[in-house]
Structure 1
Amino acid sequence: MPTKPDAGADGGSVVDVAISRLKKRIETGEFKPGHRLPPEAVLAAELALSRPSLREAVRALAMAGVLDVRRGDGTFVTDLRPDRLVSAIGSFLDLANDTGLGEMLECRKVLEPGATALAATRIDEAALDDLLERIERMRTLQDPEELVHEDLAFHGAVVAATGNLTLESLVSSVTHRTARARIWRALVKSDVLDWTHQQHMDIYEALRARDSLGAFAAASRHVNAVDTWVRTRLEGLREEA
């Protein structure tokens, strides 16, 4: 007797079943990176799924970076590179609200100093020159949003110097999520330009010296200062409320 669509021992909701069956095809290599999935009706029949359940599974896996839906061309398995999959985290973080800001800052405290330390062992002269130019450019800025944009670019360039695309995607997902807090800080703290310049110079000088431990310490001081300021300010607002 033919299998009833969405039935089976997979467990969970019908959409969970659909995701599980589709993932299995990818994990076993039946659907390889770059492979275009069969038409919806054909694939639904092959997997014993209803078309709506398959559609939801495809949507979920596309959000996770596993599938790439190209309108008018079909649905393809991505190259499954770790950095591509990690970058999908950002899509979910963007939907989160500020109640998760503390956790994002904690993630930044864990990731960024280690990445900066690694960069000290790998960064080349061209990247160092680029960082110094970015620091000097930041010193001339007055608009908080422009300053934060350049700050993100500076730290992104540091992590890029590690050559580790997965680490780069992880740090980017977290640092962009905390950008609003840093804009807020720039708006209300009058000495932000001098403070930012000195912190960045400390990081740059450690990188220039290829001092991994010094780079870790400088990045830690930088991230911890932002974290402490934001937490103190948030606590003050709660007390005022």
Structure 2
Amino acid sequence: MAVTDLAIEKIKEMIVSGALRPGARLPNEADLAGRLGLSRSSLREAVRALTAMRILVPRQGDGTYVSGLEPHLLLESLAFAADVSQGHTAAQLLEVRRLLEPQVTALAAGRLTGEQLKELRGILDRSAEEDIDIETFVALDIEFHRVIADSVGNPVLSTLLGILSTHTQRLRIVRGTRHAPARAQAHRDHETIWRALSAGDAQQAAAACVVHVVAVEDWLVPGLPVE
């Protein structure tokens, strides 16, 4: 095992064992390096890596702390992988989305408030405007699905769904599709989902979501890097 990887594992062991609890401040660099039997340079590399993973949080002028370790925050570090995914990898992410998002949408059918349904209606109306560009359309698409996921009240699910289809990934698919009416179809799919949610019909909402994600999968040609 590389020295830096060993340093990462040792710090993680301290967190898992409870020696470093969520919100705790790390000992100073010299003391921690001595306790773990590491060089200070290896320790610094490990701290940088764990900070990128959101396990550690630096505070300017006040040292480095263990984060709250909430799962949805730790998952955010995976978003980069989704952003750069192309071809088969992007298709695999969409497959996972197809397995997960319909169930979340079904749960939302019984939990969306009247205000949230009104917010979704406003998003749909704005996305139907003919003069909006692709960037705006994709942003509205993300917002539509975010409101639905957030209504379930599980930040882990919301974060996972956001990671499975990031802004960059959606933009690539819309730009790369060879189907001219793709945006129009996406909007129709959203309308169908909204009607099911408004009726509180969980099964219909889930089915409409499946149709929508499958359509997105069809636009993506596996193995083709879409830019």
TM-score by length of 2: 0.90
Asked if 1:72 is matched to 2:61, the reply is yes
Measure, in 2, the Cα distance between the counterparts of 1:129 and 1:185: 32
* Offset at residue 193 of structure 1 (A): 4.2
**Secondary structure class of the residue paired with 1:75:** strand
Q: Identify the residue that residue 151 of structure 1 maps to in structure 2.
A: 141
Asked if 1:201 is matched to 2:183, the reply is no
- Give 2:184's aligned amino acid: D
Q: Identify the residue that residue 9 of structure 1 maps to in structure 2.
A: none
1:36-75 alpha-carbon deviations (Å, 9 max, x no partner): 1111111101111111111121122112221112343311
- Give 1:80's aligned amino acid: L
Measure, in 2, the Cα distance between the counterparts of 1:162 and 1:136: 23
Asked whether the equivalents of residues 36 and 77 of structure 1 are also in contact (C-alpha less than 8 Å), the reply is: yes
**Runs of 5+ unmatched residues, structure 1:** 1-11
Q: Identify the residue that residue 183 of structure 1 maps to in structure 2.
A: 174
Measure, in 1, the Cα distance between the counterparts of 2:176 and 2:198: 28
Matching residue within 7, 30, 38 for 1:18: 7
Q: CA RMSD in A?
A: 2.2
- Name which structure has the greater RCO, CA cutoff 8 Å, separation 6+: 2
**Secondary structure class of the residue paired with 2:24:** coil
**Secondary structure class of the residue paired with 1:179:** helix
Q: Identify the residue that residue 33 of structure 2 maps to in structure 1.
A: 44
Moved more, 57-66 or 98-107: 98-107
Measure, in 2, the Cα distance between the counterparts of 1:50 and 1:222: 53
Measure, in 2, the Cα distance between the counterparts of 1:117 and 1:34: 36
- Give 2:180's aligned amino acid: S
Matching residue within 38, 41, 44 for 1:55: 44
Asked whether the equivalents of residues 105 and 178 of structure 1 are also in contact (C-alpha less than 8 Å), the reply is: no
**Runs of 5+ unmatched residues, structure 2:** none
* Offset at residue 17 of structure 1 (A): 1.7
Report the number of matched residues: 224
Report matched runs for 1:162-241 at 5 Å.
Answer: 162-176=152-166, 178-185=169-176, 188-231=178-221, 234=224
TM-score by length of 1: 0.85
* Offset at residue 197 of structure 1 (A): 2.3
Asked whether the equivalents of residues 85 and 169 of structure 2 are also in contact (C-alpha less than 8 Å), the reply is: no
- Give 1:84's aligned amino acid: L
